[in-house]
Chains A and B, each alone.
Chain A
């Protein structure tokens, strides 16, 4: 692509480095910015710089946060006896959007995979155990929910954490896996279907 101006070229190159944005889209966005008042570009770049320099991670759950402790961890309405373990920040947003969960989170930052050189030390596992061990008497953790991806690495990580939690006598559960709502049985792969049969739910009153 040839540009009439070096300034436009630089802007296009920077913008097109964002995921999902090609050169064409970047050019359209650049030209759009030029049509807007100068102040709107000022506030956009200001927001981006502020985001990068001031963003923080919650010291308890490692979710993104404006303060030292995030709004979920500091909320009085959340159930502090329940911790949901997720791989990454978008998983917190996904679960929050279900509006079905009222406990706390713990963001691991990945899953264990020796091939990629990721061991427990690269993840926030020690921090999880420390958090559980040092919780105040009123906020004792009763249950941990594992919500990691249904991959071999996710399963291995869940297993590893479960062992550590069992030593502490904490109840551990994992989110259930199976056929998506609205999904058809015959198009479900054998492994998922097999697993949903093994972990079936009883309809009789318990």
Chain B
């Protein structure tokens, strides 16, 4: 799969630009703040129906304007498809697949797999559990459509149950029969989602450990420890027993929305005990395993978006990455760099079709 071209209209700092891409390596070069990352984000939009950075759609419209459009032509399994995304303030976002609008955004997700490696990825290790759940949920959803449906249902019933808890807490009256339909749904969905997450993590872990070994060249072992209420055979009883606490706190305290995926190194939490280099290696390994699992399960090479990757890696890791690129382990690549000479020099050793773009204040010109 690859993206042949892109048209941006009033997206972030771009007024109107068009670019034709190479099927292999594309490099966006320009000073800080010129709009390199914004281009990667536009590609992310086409594949994922949303930004990788700012999830408030209207904030991605060029300042002072009322709408943006992003249009791109993809080649997927020898078929041409045109994807268009329209965001207009005050209106519902539209995604069109070769002229036909999707009813639900979720129908598009998974069609065009993409993996992004960005500088603020370390948040995934440092911040709370929500980012990690979103990271894994996004991969599983791309592989398993019904999974996304289960998640949507779960979130919906959770919201309804929490609203009910709030009412009970305020009125001091509890209606068990009204709570029951939500309890049953949440309990059943917790079990189903737990099984899917658990099965996925087992599989994912093998790839992660393999990639970590390659990149770090070190001996320590890394793990992803999946913690979930769903693991508990007695979950139903515990869920129901937590009701009085739920009412005091006005929210549901047990269920898969509390799940965490703890990253460890040598058996200890990576967040606390991993060096910066170990954390970096872990993140790259995480993203490469994401790439690999999408590639294997979908039978399509995902697009790889590498944002400022050369800033993040030392020479050894750059060499490893370049080795993977040179061995054609990846499909189409988009790389950004604020230092043009460096990228050109690193990529010069690789025998592949390369295209460089100079970016300046929201303008784009082929090198």
Please give the residue numbers on chain A whose beta carbons come within 8 Å of chain B beta carbons, in ascending order: 112-115, 119-120, 152-153, 155-156, 159-160, 163-164, 190-191, 194
* A52 smallest CB distance to B (angstroms): 33
Contact B177 A160 (CB under 8 A): yes
Please give the residue numbers on chain B whose beta carbons come within 8 Å of chain A beta carbons, in ascending order: 145-146, 149, 153, 156-157, 159-161, 163-164, 167, 175, 177-178, 180-182, 184-185
* A156 smallest CB distance to B (angstroms): 4
Contact B146 A190 (CB under 8 A): yes
Contact B163 A114 (CB under 8 A): yes
Q: From A151, which residue of chain B is reached at the shortest CB distance?
A: B156
For the residues of B in contact with A, the DSSP-based class is: helix
* B155 smallest CB distance to A (angstroms): 11
Contact A152 B177 (CB under 8 A): no
* A193 smallest CB distance to B (angstroms): 11
Q: From B167, which residue of chain A is reached at the shortest CB distance?
A: A114
Name the one of B149, B164, B180, B182 contacting A191, with C-beta atoms under 8 angstroms: B149
Contact B160 A190 (CB under 8 A): no
Contact A190 B149 (CB under 8 A): yes
Contact A164 B163 (CB under 8 A): no
Q: When A120-B178, A152-B156 are in contact, do A114 and B164 touch as well, CB less than 8 Å?
A: yes
Name the one of A112, A119, A152 contacting B153, with C-beta atoms under 8 angstroms: A152
Contact A113 B160 (CB under 8 A): yes
Bound-state Cα–Cα, A102 to B266, Å: 71
Contacts between chains A and B (CB distance < 8 A), count: 40
Bound-state Cα–Cα, A3 to B157, Å: 51
Contacts of A159 in B (CB 8 A): 180-181, 184
Bound-state Cα–Cα, A149 to B159, Å: 20
* A169 smallest CB distance to B (angstroms): 17
Name the one of B145, B160, B163 contacting A156, with C-beta atoms under 8 angstroms: B160
Q: From A157, which residue of chain B is reached at the shortest CB distance?
A: B181
Contact A114 B145 (CB under 8 A): no
Q: 6 tightest A-B contacts by CB? A: A114-B163, A159-B181, A114-B164, A156-B181, A115-B163, A114-B160
Bound-state Cα–Cα, A76 to B306, Å: 75
Bound-state Cα–Cα, A120 to B176, Å: 13
* B107 smallest CB distance to A (angstroms): 8
* A148 smallest CB distance to B (angstroms): 13
Contact A156 B149 (CB under 8 A): no
Bound-state Cα–Cα, A115 to B177, Å: 17
* A93 smallest CB distance to B (angstroms): 26
Given contacts A152-B157, A163-B180, A191-B149, 7 further A-B contacts (CB under 8 A): A112-B178, A114-B160, A114-B164, A114-B167, A120-B178, A152-B160, A160-B180
Contacts of B157 in A (CB 8 A): 152
* A154 smallest CB distance to B (angstroms): 11
Q: From B168, which residue of chain A is reached at the shortest CB distance?
A: A114
> Interface centre among A114, A115, A153, A160, by most B CB within 10 Å?
A114
* A69 smallest CB distance to B (angstroms): 30
Contact A119 B167 (CB under 8 A): yes
* B93 smallest CB distance to A (angstroms): 20
Contact B145 A190 (CB under 8 A): yes
Q: From B160, which residue of chain A is reached at the shortest CB distance?
A: A114
Bound-state Cα–Cα, A163 to B153, Å: 22
* A70 smallest CB distance to B (angstroms): 29
Bound-state Cα–Cα, A129 to B94, Å: 45
Contact A163 B163 (CB under 8 A): no
* B294 smallest CB distance to A (angstroms): 20
